[in-house]
Amino acid sequence: MAILWNKRLEVGVDLIDDQHKKWFEKADQLFEAGKNGKSKEYIIQLFDFLDEYTKTHFRDEEKYMQSINYPEINLQKQMHESFIKKLSELRKQYETEGANINLIISTNQIILDWLTNHISNADKKIGEFAHKQ
């Protein structure tokens, strides 16, 4: 089941929120492709997008955290590195096993879990800290 962007996920920093919305759009496209029987064709596009966009987003987010002297920046960096590693493992699985249904479901779930949990628990703190400045 896809999870759509909603106001509760706003961090309160436009750059970060806009990039998070883009991620949700891509995750939703994978979900929709799966519902329409086209997820095998779409998943490689998703991996390409995630590889590039995730690194860009994390770089931008970390640069922003540094600019406001965010005290939990190192913890955020560790979480980011962990997620990039997980995405790399999923891509390797795709390259060795192909776009099987388990990989497609797993990829969708991991992305949605990351987005909702990381944004709700970690990224929201960035916005709260920024607005106290």
pLDDT tens digits for the chain (133 residues)?
Answer: 556 788 888 999 999 999 999 888 877 777 777 677 776 777 788 888 888 888 999 999 999 999 999 999 999 999 999 999 998 998 899 889 887 778 878 887 888 888 888 998 999 999 999 998 7
* Cα distance between residue 98 and residue 112, in whole Å: 21
Which residue in 54, 106, 60 sits closest to 81, CA to CA?
Answer: 54
Which residue in 9, 50, 1 sits closest to 26, CA to CA?
50
* CATH superfamily of the 24-132 domain: Hemerythrin-like (1.20.120.50)
pLDDT of 2 reads 59
The reported pLDDT for the residue numbered 3 is 66
Task: Compute the residue count for the chain.
Answer: 133
Q: For residue 104, count other CB atoms closer than 10 A to its CB.
A: 20
The predicted model scores a pTM of 0.85
